[in-house]
Amino acid sequence: MTGSSDSVTELLANLEHGESLPARWYTDPSIADRELTRIFRKSWIYVGPLGHLASLGDYITGYAGGVPVVVVRGEAGLAGFVNVCRHRRHEVMKGRGNARMMMCGYHAWTYDLAGQLKRAPRSEGAADFRLEDFPLLPIRAETLGPLVFVNLDQEALPVQHFFGPVLDTIAQSGIVLDELEPHSRAEGKSPANWKAMLENYLECYHCAIAHPGFSTAIDVRPDQYKYEAREWFSTQIGPVKQPALAGRGKVPPYDVTGAVGESQYHFLWPNLTISINPGFPNLSAELWVPDGPVVTRGFSDRFFGRGANEEFIRSIIAFNDQVAAEDDLLTDSVQRGLMGGLPERGRFLPNAEPLVLDFQRKIIRAIAGEN
């Protein structure tokens, strides 16, 4: 299935003994192509905040499995489309904003908010051409709390089926989801395979060593830091350190006191993470997008509760940026090791990295077409 002797049975059996995926799974273009078609074009993909789609004509754009997409608020509610003109396949909408009609900037083919083609200049004399035959292609668009997702698979089960219970866990942190407001988006690019980056996110085995500031605020001891794997998502929960709350010991990088009493880090298959830190209500939705086998692009949408203090916002963004920079050093180094191909496989510690093992099981089964 990968151009090698590996079978699904062998890969899964090796994984059960703690042996990782082969290094080539992080470098081989043919595997990246399979991931695109078998994972990203069959899954719910996050595109942006629901708060950016509050009014008639509001729209946001993104990509799902390399396909440009747009979600717009029309008369009937949210609607998703392939964001590609039916004429020469130019992208119709750019970024986000508000529009009464969706007009392609190439030749001015114009669509209404329901995706129907309403104007195609100079088409009057074209034989067998009817506007109604060329609407924007529809896709699924649904919401999960303050987040908007799309799916290219028209037969997919609803997004709530996959991720609904995550909302209950988030509510237990002290966050009121209806009161979160989108604040800003930060974009980035890393020279590492998307799986390597997510596998780093999915364990805190490295936290005490690689994240000194984070470990000042969050209790990362194995008996305190908890992991849970579910069918389509996973969760990490770390309590805030009591000395940090009490102002004793080493001062944490930001004010950890507030309504949110614990850290929560959720992974939603295949490439969304939701990060919540103790303190004033805050949430970051991070998308990890493969750009070929050895580059990952993505963004982080930051949300805060109503009335967030600007000093807190600055300090928590700096905190998250510092952790991200520390993680980038790790994953860049891991990718260099993977590119060398030796050793061919790594060796996991199941008690310390259970969510990484669970993630690799999902990858193997998805590539084999079992998901």
Mean pLDDT per segment of 10 residues, for the chain of length 371 residues? 68 95 97 97 98 98 98 98 98 98 98 98 94 98 98 98 97 96 98 98 98 96 98 97 83 91 97 98 98 98 97 97 98 98 97 98 90 61
CB 22 within 8 A of CB 275: no
Decide: pTM greater than 0.85: yes
3-class SS shares of the chain: helix, strand, coil, % to 5: 30, 30, 40
> Contact, 102 vs 92, CB < 8 A?
yes
The CATH H-level superfamily of 161-367 is: Naphthalene 1,2-dioxygenase Alpha Subunit; Chain A, domain 1 (3.90.380.10)
Six-digit token string for 151: 């799916």
Nearest residue to 360 (alpha-carbon basis) of 227, 190, 264, 229: 229
- How far, in whole angstroms, is CA 209 from its chain's centroid? 26
- 264: Cβ–Cβ under 8 A, 6 or more apart, which residues? 169, 170, 173, 235, 236, 237, 274, 275, 276
Contact 65, 40 (CB under 8 A): yes
pLDDT value at position 279? 96
Query: Which part of the chain is CATH 3.90.380.10?
Result: 161-367
Decide: 166 and 198 in contact? Cβ < 8 Å.
no
**What's the pLDDT at 247?**
78
Rounded Cα distance between 215 and 204, Å, is 10
Asked if 315 and 210 touch (Cβ cutoff 8 Å), the reply is: no
DSSP E strands, the chain: 45-49, 58-64, 67-74, 77-82, 96-98, 102-103, 110-111, 117-119, 138-144, 147-151, 180-190, 226-229, 233-239, 262-268, 272-276, 282-290, 296-305
In the chain, the N- to C-terminal Cα span, in Å, equals: 15
Contact 186, 300 (CB under 8 A): yes
Amino acid, single-letter form, for residue 157:
L
Instruction: Note the pLDDT of residue 368.
Output: 83
Return the amino acid letter for 53: L
Q: Where are the alpha helices (H) located in 36-137, listed in sequence order?
A: none
- Quick one: three-class SS letters along 60-74? EEEEECCEEEEEEEE
3-state SS class at 173 = coil
Question: Which residues fall within 8 angstroms of residue 75, CB to CB, at 6 or more apart?
Answer: 56, 113, 114
CATH class of the domain at 45-144: mainly beta
Q: So what's the pLDDT on residue 246?
A: 84
Where does residue 297 rank: exposed (0-12), middle (13-18), buried (19+ CB within 10 A)? middle
Per-residue pLDDT, 193: 98
Owner of token pair 């292609």: 137
pLDDT (0 to 100) of residue 371? 61
Residues of the chain with CATH 2.102.10.10: 45-144
